[in-house]
Amino acid sequence: MHNAAFAALRLPHRYETHEVTAADLPATFDRLRRDEMLGANVTVPHKEAALRLVDDASEEARRIGAVNTVVRRGARLVGDNTDRYGFRQALEESACVPTDQTVLVLGAGGAARACVLEVMAGNDVIVAGRTLERARSLVESMRTVRAARLRAVSWDEAKRLRDVDLLVNATPIGLQGEDLVAELGLRRPPAMVADLVPTAEETPLVRRARENHGAVMDGLLMLLHQAARSFSIWTGSEAPLRVMRAALPRPV
């Protein structure tokens, strides 16, 4: 997407991917400060660690507690987070915006936190994680933001929930083809499904939600809008969204 966007705007940049271990992350950020780079994206499992490695961070990144976009300003690195923006744009495009409804968010990391921030106003939000303490920690940190109808449950408790209007998958389940509907023991997905997992083929959750004729937010759509926001942060130019959409591995 980014290389297609750079080419469309005739910008002399190139987007490359690099796999970095947790141990190598500080040295990688040091190289970002020295090298002639616009910046970088950061993905799992390094987004929360990245917040501690930048020289400054946007209010959005601090509220979410994670960085997924880094921009170089001279020798300083500034962290930002495009998760909530991408989630909001994708929800609206997919007609998955909840209003006074029950939302189940699976996951307790930075992406889940961004999703909770976006949907917590006016909805009943339930956060479920493999580790109940992480889910509780996320919920407690959110209570200071505004009065919210927000609670944490265990993974087993999440499997027993049935009156859910919007299911948000902010875990990696589905990245390797796992079936989240089967994992939760559901006969069918809820009326609205938002899957953050971006894969070349539709995840089983997205596929089954479409078969059930529900409203579906595909992870690739969120990735598109996240990427467009990152592009603007790096370049100061409006992202060519149509060009970036065409570069995705399948239509969304």
> Which residues are part of the catalytic machinery?
47
Q: Cα–Cα distance between 83 and 61 in angstroms, integer?
A: 9
For residue 173, what is the DSSP state?
Answer: T
Element (H, E) at 69: strand 69-73
Alpha helices in the chain (DSSP H): 2-8, 25-34, 47-53, 59-64, 83-93, 110-119, 132-142, 155-160, 180-184, 204-211, 219-235, 241-246
Q: Cα–Cα distance between 208 and 180 in angstroms, integer?
A: 10
Q: Cα–Cα distance between 29 and 27 in angstroms, integer?
A: 5
